[in-house]
Amino acid sequence: MAIAATVSAPITSSNLRSHSITRPSSFSLINPFKSSSFTKLTTTSLIRNPKFGFSVSAMSVAAQENLSQTAFLDRRESGVLHFVKYHGLGNDFIMVNNLDSMEPKVTPEQAVKLCDRNFGIGGDGIIFAMPGSNGTDYTMRIFNSDGSEPEMCGNGVRCLAKFIADLNNSHGRQSFTVHTGAGLIVPEIQDDGKVKVDMGEPVLKASDVPTKIPANKDQSVVKAKIEVDGVNWNVTCVSMGNPHCITFGREGGENLVVDELNLADIGPKFERHALFPARTNTEFVQVFSRSHLKMRVWERGAGATLACGTGACAVAVAAILEGRSERNCTVDLPGGPLVIEWREDDNHVYMTGPAEVVFYGSVHL
């Protein structure tokens, strides 16, 4: 599959005029950053744009049309995938409008190539907005950047909510019901543009996480000990639809200083540990106070990411189970903070955070 990505950055007609034409090309560019309307650029040449360090292509500006910014996603050219890039605190996804089918438009093998940050678009995963099922508004499926398919993605479902609003050209407070591998998930776009997500109930039963770590009397794994590469770690295991192994430190050691960890070394050893039959996401946590935690994450199927929404939820649950945190807390991730609440009355976990569009583009599959 040859990927020839056309990428549009925050460009305006002014900075297009200011650059010399370098070589001909023939692909269409989307300028989604016009405030109220959609300007379709047709191109016959490539313009090098030193301001953004990569090429944009534009030759003439077609008449402005009052279409949604994502109208180009409706264009159908065989072998071309139109997408929108979103991120949630730097955990970034290629978003695909898959509303016309329950079959993903991209295979797991293609997802690996598209997520490659040198030879593809780049991303921690690719997310498909699909028709609803079991009475929900939508369905979300996701492929990790290694091509594996997880059950759920917290940052991703916030991005999905904003993507759907974009597709519908709808604004303001709105919520959707989304069917996922973790069951029903309900994201709500708030007045300030952040997204609050009802992430459902955490799963604590060891065999459902799943983990083979010997469980407590109540079938959960809380403050258990596992040996990883000759070191004993204290861990608590939680599923948010996907498996999470949370550690606040080594056995007998002081509290973790997470910035000192070599994630690339220790992360894969947890991810592929024999005690996690479906592999696991692993969160390393530092406690600042009973309402303020800091974490780094090595994600199953994606490696070290800047943020993990299900991971932040699992961390809050583990901290509460270990008596380290209140039910409302802020979890600092490398990409920014998430606000998490594990509500006693419905046992649901709620996560609030941002989701931002980065660019629109099209690639030849």
CA distance 86 to 89: 10
Binding status of residue 32 toward ligand API by CB under 6 A: no
Q: Which listed residue (136, 242, 247, 282) binds ligand API by CB under 6 A?
A: 242
Shortest separation between residue 333's beta carbon and ligand API, angstroms? 9
308 is catalytic: yes
Closest Cα to residue 156, out of 192, 180, 184, 133? Answer: 180
Beta strand residue intervals within 241-344, DSSP E: 243-250, 281-289, 292-299, 303-305, 328-333, 336-342
Q: With respect to ligand API, which residue has the nearer C-beta, 69 or 242?
A: 242
Is 91 a residue that touches ligand API (CB under 6 A)?
yes
Binding window for ligand API (CB under 6 A); candidates: 60-68, 196-204, 264-272, 301-309 = 301-309
Write down the catalytic residue from 115, 245, 308, 329.
Answer: 308
Cβ distance to ligand API smaller for residue 57 or 310: 310
Find the shortest distance in angstroms from Cβ 339 to ligand API.
15
248-262 burial code (b ≥16 CB/10 A, e <16): bbeeeeeebebeebe
Is residue 310 near ligand API by the rule CB under 6 A?
A: yes
Q: Which of 156, 187 has the CB closer to ligand API?
A: 156
In order of 279, 314, 351, the CA distances from 185 in angstroms are: 23, 15, 11
Stretch that binds ligand API, among 55-63, 209-217, 306-314, 337-345 (CB under 6 A): 306-314
Catalytic residue among 115, 153, 237, 313: 153
d(CA 187, CA 147): 25
**What is the Cα–Cα distance from 243 to 365, expressed in whole angstroms?**
32
Vertex 70, ends 138 and 41: CA angle to 5°?
165
How far is 338 from 232, CA to CA, in rounded Å?
29
Among the listed residues 308, 333, 355, 357, the single contact to ligand API using CB under 6 A: 308
295 binding ligand API? (CB under 6 A): no
Q: Using the rule CB under 6 A, is 302 a contact of ligand API?
A: yes
Q: Which stretch binds ligand API (CB under 6 A): 101-109, 111-119, 185-193, 298-306?
A: 298-306
Contact region with ligand API (CB under 6 A), list: 51-59, 170-178, 305-313, 338-346: 305-313
Check residue 245 for interaction with ligand API (CB under 6 A): no
Contact status: 8 vs ligand API (CB under 6 A): no
Among residues 104, 309, 335, 361, the one that binds ligand API under rule CB under 6 A: 309
Quick one: which of 165, 299, 337, 358 contacts ligand API (CB under 6 A)? 299
- Determine the Cα–Cα distance for residues 138 and 313; give it in Å rounded to an integer: 22
Asked if residue 337 binds ligand API (CB under 6 A), the reply is no
Tell me which residue has tokens 């030849």.
364
Site mask for ligand API (CB under 6 A), range 274-293, x = bound: -------x------------
Structural contact between residues 306 and 335, judged by C-beta atoms closer than 8 angstroms? yes
Collapsing DSSP to helix, strand or coil, 323 comes out as: coil
Token couple for 112: 């690996």
Q: Is 306 in the site for ligand API (CB under 6 A)?
A: no
**Residue 280: closest CA among 258, 299, 255:** 299
Task: Pick out residues in 134-163 that bind ligand API (CB under 6 A).
Answer: 144, 150, 153-156
Q: H/E element holding 196?
A: strand 195-198
CA 158 to each of CA 33, 83, 89: distance values in angstroms, whole numbers, following the listed order = 21, 17, 10
Q: Which residues in this chain contact ligand API in the complex, by CB under 6 A?
A: 91, 144, 150, 153-156, 242, 281, 299-302, 305, 308-311
Catalytic residues: 153, 308
